Amino acid sequence: MEEAGKCILLSAPTAAAMLILRTVEGILREYYKNKSGKVIDSFTDWNDFLKELNSLQKPNKGLLDHLNYLRLNLRNPVSHPDKIFTSKEAENLFSMAVNTIEEMCKEIYP
């Protein structure tokens, strides 16, 4: 997230968005490992993580719905080269990501 913050400050919002979402993805992998007990050894789409997490006993529906929102509306578009983020979009994503990461970490590290 530090590098994403630097990108925002240096007017590179699309690069910042990519770094922010990769950070969220990294914590999502840790969250998935913590909840499912499974180690991820290859690329897995967020959708696969979220489907499995939703099927577990007592899933955090609010968090998983929010992660799905990020997947559909921000993560998937940023993976295509035609998506350009504005500074405001990157700043908003930064704050959303911080909140999302904090929520996942509350469950990983109670």
CATH of the domain at 43: 1.20.120
Hey, what are 38's tokens? 């499974």
How far apart are alpha carbons 95 and 74 in whole angstroms?
A: 13
pTM of this prediction exceeds 0.85: yes
Q: What is the pLDDT along the chain (110 residues), one digit of tens a residue?
A: 899 999 999 999 999 999 999 999 999 999 999 999 888 777 678 888 899 999 998 999 999 999 999 988 888 777 777 888 999 999 999 999 999 999 999 999 98
CA 26 to chain centre: 7
20: exposed, middle or buried (Cβ count in 10 Å: 0-12, 13-18, 19+): buried
Number of domains observed in the structure of the chain: 1
Contact 31, 110 (CB under 8 A): no
Domain of residue 11, residue span:
2-108
